[in-house]
Amino acid sequence: MPAGRAQWSATVEVGSDLYDLRFYGSDEVLVASWWIGVFDGTGELRTTAIAPRTDLSPSDLTLWLGPIVGPEVAERLVKSVAESVARTHAERELAGSKS
């Protein structure tokens, strides 16, 4: 697992597996990256991968994740991250309009 705090993250549980998608892009991270980890029921990291680029669209991110986690889990992870990003942007806009 990369060091530092993730800027965006999403998890999906399917059976005893946990799929953990994170984007590391804050100032404390030397190189920005998308990271996926697949953990088994004991918490052991079974699979890990880092995307070849950071500028992936939601569809590109889903396509990259598909062979690693399966298409349904990939879609759920990307949807969760997209909702989190939208929520954060809306909160920032609301806070900016109150200033």
Q: Is residue 59 part of a domain?
A: yes
Task: Identify which has the larger pLDDT, 53 or 85.
Answer: 53
Contact 74, 65 (CB under 8 A): yes
Number of domains composing the chain: 1
Residues β-bridged to residue 73: none
Domain housing 60: 8-98
Return the pLDDT at 31.
79
Q: How far apart are CA 28 and CA 8, in angstroms?
A: 14
Name the token pair of 27. 């100032």
Cα(45)–Cα(28) distance, integer angstroms: 24
- The model's pLDDT over 4-58, given as tens digits with 9 standing for 90+, comes to 678 889 999 999 999 999 998 876 667 789 999 999 999 999 999 999 999 999 9
More confident residue, 66 or 28: 66
Residue 58 resides in a domain: yes
- Which residue did the predictor score with more confidence, 92 or 74? 74
* Residue 1 included in any domain: no
96, two tokens: 């900016």
